[in-house]
Amino acid sequence: MRKLFILALALAATSPALAAEDPPPGAVVGGGEDGLQVIVGPGGTSLEGLAVPDARCVDGAGADACKMVTSVLRRDMTLSFFFEVLPARAYLVEADSEPLDAPSFQDWTNIGAAYLIKAEVRGADPYDAEFRFYEVAGGRAVKVDEQSFKGLGKGQLRSATHRFCNGVMKARTGRAGVFDTRVAYAKKLGVGVKGIGIVDMDGYNRNVLISNGSINILPSWGFGGVLYTSFIDGHPELFFGKRKLSRDRGHYRRVSVSPDGARMIASISYGEQSDLYLLSKDGEVVKNLTNSGYDEVSPTFSPDGSKIAFVSNAAGSPQIYMMSVGGGEPTRLTFAGDYNYAPDWGSNGLIAFAAMEDGSSDIFTVTEGGQIARLTQNQGNNKDPSWSPDGRYVAFVSQRSEGTGIYVMSADGRYQTMIAPGGGVSNVAWEK
């Protein structure tokens, strides 16, 4: 029974449901440095109209470069879940005829745009790029940290556009965006073969990071790269890139790196039972944190590194628990649901997890006080949640009528969209 419990969690099961409170709507508070109302939840009560006309190509810039910049701007702002990117067919202004620094605010007001983003790409590779963010009603530019770039290669042009969009989020909400981050995941590559893949937040640059003809699962981020469990030597061991970190014959599963990068906690079994162990950053086992007689798996650090959340079957079924990194008695956080698994502790203080019941899985959050909120419902099977570094979004795996793949949703579950289609995916982990 213990082996089945551990294997099911490690290889990631499917779905389920707990009764939970409805998530609160996004809050609107205060005022920003530029006199803007600062929104701390996606879109407040509704998404804000944003116009993103085609980027202007000048001084020999190729149409492909401008098309890419336009696409990235629209994609990032759509994924922000703060803005509704208005359809280009509704625009009254021709992009090529309107100067970068002198928009026709009345024309943008007439199509319902609250905000406007403009871009200009100059020269052939390398490129210079200029971006602007405007509040339409106020008829003024909004300061963005990074809006002018010089000497960019084509790949750098995409990155610069993401960085500008991060700055737009900071200008609008007080916190920078995370559009230049990545999501790692396990991917079935063949019969008995799984690799570790990686994809940008916007769904581009999808690549296989680890493919060695074996089973590789449970990726997590730390030390500037990806850690994972591999069966390449016949039993589950801990790797960082191509370097083996585990030093003994224990069976290693999910590992979590502390926020300061100084230590790790891993689920390891040296026989029938799986316990949580504190490891040095070099993989040396330092301390056994649990020795309860039950199985403890899937550790995740709190934002300040002082606590961990994990899964234990001490109550007879997998439930989410919390304890101090120094050890001590665990606190049970979930009391509903038959099978709760895959916790991930976000920078916002919420622990996202999946819950499986009657062959179906859904995603929830729980606070340290045990308050539960549901993020998915009646949307197929949803599993393996992972918080974005800013705590605004959750990446997860979903099988639903809209398609199977990696999805991203807002922290309250209100807005959800697929970023990377395809089956055979599990164990997503957002770059921290």
pLDDT digits (tens, 9 = 90+) for 335-378: 988 899 999 999 999 999 999 988 899 999 999 999 999 999 99
What's the chain's length in residues? 432
Its pTM stands at: 0.89
Nearest alpha carbon to residue 7 among 302, 229, 180, 159: 229
d(CA 289, CA 275): 7
CA–CA distances in Å: residue 245 to residues 187, 275, 279, 398: 22, 18, 10, 31
d(CA 335, CA 358): 17
Q: 362 - beta bridge partners?
A: 355
pLDDT band at 108 (very low <50, low <70, confident <90, very high): very high
pLDDT band at 25 (very low <50, low <70, confident <90, very high): very low
d(CA 331, CA 329): 7
Domain borders along the chain are 2-24+181-430, 33-173
Nearest alpha carbon to residue 318 among 2, 41, 104: 2
d(CA 182, CA 247): 29
- Look at residue 263 and tell me whether its pLDDT is greater than 60: yes
d(CA 420, CA 176): 23
Q: Which residues of 350-383 are buried (b: 16+ CB within 10 A; e: fewer)?
A: bbbbbbbbeebbbbbbbeeeeebbbbbeebbbbb
- Which of the two residues, 155 and 101, has the higher pLDDT score? 101
pLDDT band at 95 (very low <50, low <70, confident <90, very high): confident
For residue 18, the model assigns a pLDDT of 32
Q: CB–CB of 53/91 below 8 Å?
A: yes
Superfamily assignment of 33-173 in CATH?
TolB, N-terminal domain (3.40.50.10070)
SS3 156: helix
Which structure tokens are listed for 266?
Answer: 């891993």
For residue 62, the model assigns a pLDDT of 86
For residue 45, the model assigns a pLDDT of 57
Q: What is the number of alpha carbons within 13 Å of residue 226 lying toward its C-beta?
A: 27
- Look at residue 41 and tell me whether its pLDDT is greater than 60: no
pLDDT above 90 covers what percent of the chain?
82
Q: CB–CB of 259/304 below 8 Å?
A: yes
- Domain at 2-24+181-430, CATH class: mainly beta
